[in-house]
């Protein structure tokens, strides 16, 4: 399945947003349902509304401001930017709550750009990329283990990342489907080696309602360069995480607030100009 909007010549917020909305709808089976009971809905929604009412009182929000907010929320839905907006400004808090009860390697937000069913590659693997793919070569290798240190044979690393211009395949129409995406199967000792390129920092689309908000508030729209992974092994909780790069721009001011110290890689530059880094994962049993 493709989420590429073929009518767009270049990447736009509307294109990325609409595709992220499509991808979210297509993924609802994978994500399961919340099965939220009446008491919980009552409690949580009342708390959300009370928080909003509190801001209106404390900040003495005016009628024109209220109507502007309404128009902005409508625009967010019209162009399909809800996944973009929520994954940048809200998901990190949900993830931190989930993390309180988790062991093993640190996770972080999934973001809006995961696509399932990518090419399966056995280790050592090179991610699918264009013949003239820009960017410095990166070799990421490591091992997937249980909490007790035992290797997890055949673990899967579902991997996706932006290119050296900060765009994700499947969401930017100029990129081939599946570019810089792949599911890498580790060996019988849980070891993996993935060759890819260093991604660029990611800029949330600036030409849609989310971008308008960011500039109206005087914020910056950047996430530090990162790799996305889901790590899976039978009998273990799936880990959804990201890896960042030491010294990377925006590491200390990620607009999505999704960095963690444990997730920062320290790649070593090799004589041939490529960078190598070792990084292991531990998964907790389910």
Residue given tokens 């995961």 in the structure block? 114
- How far is 172 from 215, CA to CA, in rounded Å? 22
Applying CB under 6 A, does 184 fall inside the site for ligand DHB? no
Of 22-30, 51-59, 96-104, 108-116, the segment contacting ligand DHB by CB under 6 A is 108-116
- The answer for residues whose C-beta is within 8 angstroms of residue 162's C-beta and 6 or more apart is 168, 180, 199, 200, 202, 225, 226
Among 140, 204, 230, 233, binds ligand DHB (CB under 6 A): 204
Closest to Fe ion by CB, 111 or 173: 111
> By CB under 6 A, is residue 173 in contact with ligand DHB?
no
Say whether residue 87 binds ligand DHB (CB under 6 A).
Answer: yes
As a whole number of angstroms, the distance between CA 102 and CA 85 comes to: 26
Pick one of ligand DHB, Fe ion, none as the site partner of residue 156 (Cβ within 5 to 8 A by kind): none
Determine which residue in the list 80, 107, 112, 135 makes contact with ligand DHB, applying CB under 6 A.
112
Closest approach, Cβ 145 to ligand DHB, in A, equals: 26
Cβ atoms within 10 Å of 127's Cβ, excluding its own:
22
Mark 233-262 with x for binding to ligand DHB (rule: CB under 6 A) and - for no binding. Answer: -----------------------x------
Of these partners, Fe ion, ligand DHB, none, which one is at the site of residue 254 (CB under 5 to 8 Å by kind)?
none
CA–CA gap between residue 118 and residue 110 (Å, rounded)? 16
> Closest CB to ligand DHB among 88 and 239?
88
Binding site for ligand DHB (CB under 6 A): 84, 87-88, 109, 111-113, 202, 204, 223, 256
């Amino acid at each position: 399945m493709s989420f590429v909007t073929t009518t767009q010549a270049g990447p736009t917020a509307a294109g990325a947003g609409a595709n992220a909305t499509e991808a979210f709808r297509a993924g609802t089976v994978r994500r399961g349902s919340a099965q939220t009971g009446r008491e919980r809905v009552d409690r949580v929604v009342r708390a959300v509304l009370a928080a909003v009412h509190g801001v209106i009182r404390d900040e003495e929000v005016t009628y024109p401001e209220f109507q502007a907010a309404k128009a902005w929320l409508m625009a967010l839905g019209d162009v399909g930017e809800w996944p973009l907006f929520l994954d940048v400004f809200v998901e990190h808090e949900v993830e931190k709550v989930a993390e309180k009860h988790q062991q093993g390697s640190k996770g972080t937000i999934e973001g809006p750009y995961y696509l399932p069913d990518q090419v399966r590659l056995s280790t050592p693997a090179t991610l699918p990329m264009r013949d003239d793919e820009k960017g410095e070569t990166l070799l990421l290798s490591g091992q997937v283990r249980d909490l007790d240190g035992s290797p997890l044979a055949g673990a899967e690393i579902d991997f996706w990342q932006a290119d050296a211009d900060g765009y994700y395949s499947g969401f930017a129409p100029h990129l081939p489907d599946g570019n810089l995406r792949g599911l890498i199967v580790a060996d019988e000792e849980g070891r993996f080696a993935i060759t890819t390129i260093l991604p660029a920092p990611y800029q949330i689309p600036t030409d849609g309602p989310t971008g308008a908000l960011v500039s109206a508030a005087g914020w910056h729209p950047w996430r530090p360069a990162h790799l996305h992974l889901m790590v899976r092994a039978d009998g273990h909780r799936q880990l959804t995480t990201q890896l960042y790069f030491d010294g990377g721009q925006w590491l200390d001011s990620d607009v999505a607030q999704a960095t963690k110290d444990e997730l920062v890689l320290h790649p070593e530059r090799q004589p041939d100009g490529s960078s190598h880094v070792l990084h292991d994962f531990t998964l907790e049993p389910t």
